[in-house]
Structure 1
Amino acid sequence: MNTFAALLDRLVYESRRNAKIRLIADYLRATPDPERGFALAALTGELSFREAKPNLIRALIQERCDPVLFEMSYSYVGDLAETTALLWPAPISSRPEPPRVSPLPRGEGPGVWGVQDEASSSMQAGRAGASGEPFTRRPSPPTPPHEGEGSASSVSQAAASLVERNEGIGHNRPPPSLSEVVEALATTSKSDLPARLAAWLDALDETGRWALLKLITGSLRIGVSARLAKTALASLGEMEPDAVEEVWHGLQPPYVELFAWVEGRGERPVSRDPAPFRPPMLAHPLELEDFGKLDAGDFTAEWKWDGIRVQAVSFAGTTRLYSRTGEDVSAAFPDLVVALDGMEAAIDGELLVLVEGRVQSFNVLQQRLNRKSVSNALMTKYPAHLRAYDLLGEGEEDLRSLPFAERRTRLEAFVARGARERLDLSPLVPFADWDALTAARTDPASHGAGDDADAVEGVMVKRADSSYVPGRPKGLWFKWKREPYTVDAVMMYAQRGHGKRSSFYSDYTFGVWRPGAEGGEELVPVGKAYFGFTDEELAQLDRFVRNNTTNRFGPVREVVHTAEKGLVLEIAFEGLQRSTRHKSGVAMRFPRVARIRWDKPTAEADRLETLTAILAKGETEQHPTG
């Protein structure tokens, strides 16, 4: 666990993409199986531990330190895993004799007594960052793997030896390996988990505790995407990342066969899944400067629907529905899976809800999302539908190497031949030049989208001769989204971020004006945004929060937000939905900070009526009367 913790620690503080790839590749190269396989699974989000909840961690640390000290520390640090790692006491058997100290004059030395324990010194380090901004942990020096770490046999032998000596973790025992943690969590009962987790925390140092808690709660947030981790793996064998993507789905941790293939020691792994996921092809945003470089005659266009991109695969009696990241979401949409069963094809498309032949808004689709099971009533009210973009395979034939124009012809014939009620074709958008496409994007209703125009998010522009290439290849596919909604809102609360942002107030709750219960005007929260600004702007926002705090609630700060004083943020968002969680009754989709309006008085921020009018317009267009 030590070497994995050191890797995570360095990744948090490393901003350069290529440097991150080298760090991960060096770790994978130097670490034996199965340890490195579980590390790769952690970095790619393939590990899940259901019983490791934040409340469990909070309960464990509050048993070991003063609850008030914990709450104050958590408020300062802003991250549960890091706070717990800093405050966790050393096992009694390993605590050093307290040093003899003499009081120093007030204000001299590092503390009142001239000595600090590990936790307090770590927290005080947050006030001494080179940039002038606080941080809580410094990168740790390289930690060599403990003898036996990563070896399943050595772990078993060590465990047996400890049992014979009636000793447990924390009694001078080496820290647990990553594989030991993963394998134990797979079999540990909910009732036994607190004791086992506490024993591991006793055996680890500060960085190890932080890494363990981040791992088991599924919140690494270290600035590493699954794609970047797979790129690092591919570099071990000088392969393209797409080669790894092609075999990834259907394999399980710790990926021993995968590592052997990448390193040239084994055959290419073969997935035994009859309906495997195929790595998706992604698009680049279409910028204004791109039009001068692209010939409109080389491209086709289709509507970009405001749903969820999915992949439907049905072969050899097995039908599955995958998200764009490869997650199997079939259980949430059994009505669609049944409707597509037996089609013997792999289709890339958009998951939508259709009622009486009309595409419903994303707000309606959300009623079906993130559910482990779904009732018959919900399926009847919100029937799932697949709108097809591309045909990736048919029968035993892989079509991805064919040009898009040919795949499109095959797709049209396939959809027409199948005549399935829950499957239809996403229409192409005819255009002769970029001006014509601009007009279609601006007014979909007049350019073929008809009654479904409000569900159009923009247009997709694809080279007619493009093969279906995993990843985001340059110059082949583009997405050109419609302009977002914007609203001027007032910052009301701020919370510390995670990972590299754990020392900054980077998550902002904002509100708009409405009539107050006792007359006058009041601000009511309508959303939360945590991106859209530069690092320089983040520093400015963080400074504003610290200088204008009026109240504190754990890790959250309330900032001044009156009609006379406060900060206005221009918020961009993709849509609205009704919400029972917000006092306003509305919530935004994909809100982000578009601009910081230092110049605008808070009294001139938008009102709730502006948002409810947008919401009402969308609902009227989706559910017309008469």
Structure 2
Amino acid sequence: MNEFAELLDRLSYEPRRNAKIRLMADYFRMTPDPERGVALAALTGKLSFTNAKPALIRALIAERTDPVLFEMSYDYVGDLSETVALMWPIPKEAEAANANHPPFLSEIVEGLETLPKRDLPRQLSMWLDGLDETGRWALLKLITGSLRVGASARLAKTAVASLGDIPPDEVELVWPGLAMPYRELFAWVEGKAERPETLDPVPFRPVMLAHAVEDESFSALEADAYAAEWKWDGIRVQAVCGRDAEGKRVGRLYSRTGEDISGAFPDLMEALDFDGAIDGELLVMRHTRVQSFNVLQQRLNRKSVTAKMLAEFPAHIRAYDLLAEDGEDLRPLPFRARRAKLEALAARLMAEGHDRMDLSPMVPFDTWEQLTAARADPSSAGAGEDAAAVEGVMLKAWDSAYLPGRPKGPWWKWKRDPHTVDAVLMYAQRGHGKRSSFYSDYTFGVWTKGEEGGDVLVPVGKAYFGFTDQELIEIDKFVRRSTINRFGPVREVVHEPDEGLVLEVAFEGLARSTRHRSGVAMRFPRIARLRWDKPPREADRLEALEALLKAEG
């Protein structure tokens, strides 16, 4: 475990991408199975532990230290795992017994996955006693599921691929059929075994993602080399249908990250009948009209669905691409060919009466100016009554293969301009990882009429990104000098009509919320810029957000 902890510690301080890859590759090369496979699972976010939660960590540290001292230390450090790792007192007898026997990472993961809840506190204490400060920090980060060391799953797979000079895309292609501790993966990249093959009749295929269009992007792109289609405001899914070894029809619905979400959408899975894999957008469709993302949320993250929910929120797929058909892998084909096959499949399904899937229409254009006009007014460019559910356009090179990850050039996304609101900073909390010494998580509010008639601020959202490093330093200084109250790790800052900080907040949409005092919740809020030029009294009002919410339906 200490070796894995050292890797995490070095990754957290290493800003260079290639250097991070080398660090992980060296660890995988020097570490035997199954330790390196468990580490890979941790780095790619494949581990989760039902019984190990932050509350357990708090309870354990409260047994060994003064609670007030811990709260003061936590307030100063700003990170739970780091605070506990530094403060954890080790009894002398435990220190002597564990000096030469720190626990293995695989031992810890197995224990976290299999130990009964009643036995976990004692075992976790023993593990913490057997590790150094960095090891304790890494263990606690592992438990809380927040490694945050600047190494994405893609980067970790790239490091694995470098062990055998194999293209990272090849690792992505076999990844969905593998499981911890990934012995067959490491054996393959090191030249000791054949390429792993999945026997799953309905496997997940790594999705292809797009880069955001920037102003200078168009100057390097030829309009006639790209197709355009609407980007719908749902969630990206992959619907896969096939036959098992006994010839029985099977189907699955996967999220963008490969999570099997079929159980939450039985109505959709029963309706789809084809042999292949479709890349599309999951939506709610009522009376042939696409509903807003707020409506779709009623079906998301449900462990079970009722008959009433199935009737009120019927799931629908709007197809973008066809990845496989009748046992043939279509991903190497150019988009033009895949699109033609998708159109033929969609026509057949519709002719057979299948109404839970349709084809995402193309956006006709000859010049970038025409596409700009279509993006600005989707209703007049073919989206019709569904225009409110369009969040932009996608650009796909006609000759592009379907590649895993986010290759730059073949696909671009050009989302609609976000909504913005000027809001007042009300509360701030320390961040995590590299930001643990900065107040980087912000709660902001807008004005509305109070119960006594005067104007009051009500929180409408939280954001922790969008600003530059320099702006983070400026906000952190403001928070420290303007604190008027503290609630554990949270600081309340001055927010009076003539004193405070106004933030221009960008967001994708609004939804009704019973959890927020304002009654509204923002979707994907981020800090667009700091409005040092504007006094808080000139910030926006809740009534403006209510009007926007009403306009969005």
Fold similarity call, TM over 0.5: yes
Matched, 1:407 2:341: no
Which of 432, 449, 466 lines up with 1:515 in the alignment?
449
Deviation at 1:231, TM superposition (A): 0.7
For 2:270 and 2:69, locate their aligned partners in 1 and report how far apart those are by CA, in whole Å: 55
For 2:255 and 2:111, locate their aligned partners in 1 and report how far apart those are by CA, in whole Å: 29
Matched, 1:599 2:522: no
Residue range with higher mean Cα deviation, 213-222 or 408-417 = 213-222
Q: How far does the alpha carbon of each residue in 1:288-333 deviate from its partner, in whole angstroms, 9 at most, with x for none?
A: 2122221111111100000101111111122111111111111222
The secondary structure found in structure 1 opposite 2:505 is strand
The secondary structure found in structure 1 opposite 2:478 is helix
**Could you tell me which residue of structure 1 aligns to residue 256 of structure 2?**
324
Q: Is the 8 A contact 1:223 1:499 kept in 2?
A: no
The residue identity in structure 2 corresponding to 1:330 is S
The residue identity in structure 2 corresponding to 1:54 is P
For 1:255 and 1:518, locate their aligned partners in 2 and report how far apart those are by CA, in whole Å: 63
Q: Is the 8 A contact 2:50 2:113 kept in 1?
A: no
For 2:20 and 2:322, locate their aligned partners in 1 and report how far apart those are by CA, in whole Å: 35
**Could you tell me which residue of structure 1 aligns to residue 296 of structure 2?**
365
For 1:321 and 1:94, locate their aligned partners in 2 and report how far apart those are by CA, in whole Å: 49
The secondary structure found in structure 1 opposite 2:216 is helix
The secondary structure found in structure 2 opposite 1:45 is coil
**TM-score, normalising length: structure 2:** 0.97
For 1:303 and 1:91, locate their aligned partners in 2 and report how far apart those are by CA, in whole Å: 62
**Could you tell me which residue of structure 2 aligns to residue 119 of structure 1?**
none
Matches within 5 A, 1:48-87: 48-87=48-87
- Structure 1 segments unaligned to the other structure (5+ residues): 97-169, 620-626
Matched, 1:312 2:244: no
The secondary structure found in structure 2 opposite 1:367 is coil
**Could you tell me which residue of structure 2 aligns to residue 167 of structure 1?**
none
The secondary structure found in structure 2 opposite 1:22 is helix
Matches within 5 A, 1:34-183: 34-93=34-93, 171-172=98-99, 174-183=101-110
Deviation at 1:25, TM superposition (A): 0.8
Q: How far does the alpha carbon of each residue in 1:249-273 deviate from its partner, in whole angstroms, 9 at most, with x for none?
A: 0211000010000011111111122
For 1:531 and 1:572, locate their aligned partners in 2 and report how far apart those are by CA, in whole Å: 11
The secondary structure found in structure 1 opposite 2:321 is strand
Residue range with higher mean Cα deviation, 1-10 or 326-335 = 326-335
Matched, 1:421 2:355: yes
The secondary structure found in structure 2 opposite 1:266 is coil
Matches within 5 A, 1:322-471: 322-340=254-272, 342-419=273-350, 420-471=354-405
The secondary structure found in structure 1 opposite 2:83 is helix
For 2:529 and 2:419, locate their aligned partners in 1 and report how far apart those are by CA, in whole Å: 13
Query: How many residue pairs are counted as aligned between the two chains?
Result: 545
Q: How far does the alpha carbon of each residue in 1:375-425 deviate from its partner, in whole angstroms, 9 at most, with x for none?
A: 222221111111000000001111111111111111011011122211100
For 2:439 and 2:460, locate their aligned partners in 1 and report how far apart those are by CA, in whole Å: 19
Deviation at 1:474, TM superposition (A): 2.2
**Could you tell me which residue of structure 1 aligns to residue 15 of structure 2?**
15
**Could you tell me which residue of structure 2 aligns to residue 490 of structure 1?**
424
**TM-score, normalising length: structure 1:** 0.86
For 2:308 and 2:288, locate their aligned partners in 1 and report how far apart those are by CA, in whole Å: 19
Deviation at 1:172, TM superposition (A): 4.3
Matched, 1:617 2:548: no
**Could you tell me which residue of structure 1 aligns to residue 181 of structure 2?**
254
Deviation at 1:226, TM superposition (A): 0.6
Q: Is the 8 A contact 2:187 2:193 kept in 1?
A: yes
Residue range with higher mean Cα deviation, 390-399 or 78-87 = 78-87
Which of 220, 225, 239 lines up with 1:293 in the alignment?
220
**Could you tell me which residue of structure 2 aligns to residue 236 of structure 1?**
163
**Could you tell me which residue of structure 1 aligns to residue 5 of structure 2?**
5
Deviation at 1:519, TM superposition (A): 2.1
The residue identity in structure 1 corresponding to 2:82 is E
For 2:151 and 2:236, locate their aligned partners in 1 and report how far apart those are by CA, in whole Å: 22
**Could you tell me which residue of structure 2 aligns to residue 504 of structure 1?**
438
The residue identity in structure 1 corresponding to 2:41 is A
**Could you tell me which residue of structure 2 aligns to residue 129 of structure 1?**
none
For 1:72 and 1:9, locate their aligned partners in 2 and report how far apart those are by CA, in whole Å: 24
Deviation at 1:372, TM superposition (A): 2.0
**Could you tell me which residue of structure 2 aligns to residue 584 of structure 1?**
518
Q: How far does the alpha carbon of each residue in 1:525-573 deviate from its partner, in whole angstroms, 9 at most, with x for none?
A: 0000000011111111111111111111111110110101000000000
Distance change >3 Å, CA 6–CA 171, structure 1 → 2: closer
Deviation at 1:92, TM superposition (A): 3.0
For 1:319 and 1:201, locate their aligned partners in 2 and report how far apart those are by CA, in whole Å: 44
Q: Is the 8 A contact 2:95 2:130 kept in 1?
A: no
The residue identity in structure 2 corresponding to 1:335 is D
The secondary structure found in structure 2 opposite 1:249 is helix
The secondary structure found in structure 2 opposite 1:253 is coil
The secondary structure found in structure 1 opposite 2:106 is helix
For 2:433 and 2:316, locate their aligned partners in 1 and report how far apart those are by CA, in whole Å: 38
Deviation at 1:95, TM superposition (A): 6.4
Q: Which has the larger radius of gyration?
A: 1
For 2:14 and 2:482, locate their aligned partners in 1 and report how far apart those are by CA, in whole Å: 31
The residue identity in structure 1 corresponding to 2:197 is V
Deviation at 1:173, TM superposition (A): 5.5
Matched, 1:539 2:473: yes
The residue identity in structure 1 corresponding to 2:449 is P
Residue range with higher mean Cα deviation, 325-334 or 389-398 = 325-334
Deviation at 1:186, TM superposition (A): 2.2
For 1:309 and 1:467, locate their aligned partners in 2 and report how far apart those are by CA, in whole Å: 19
| Superposition misfits of 4+ residues, deviation over 4 angstroms | 170-173
The residue identity in structure 2 corresponding to 1:322 is Y
**Could you tell me which residue of structure 2 aligns to residue 216 of structure 1?**
143
**Could you tell me which residue of structure 2 aligns to residue 29 of structure 1?**
29
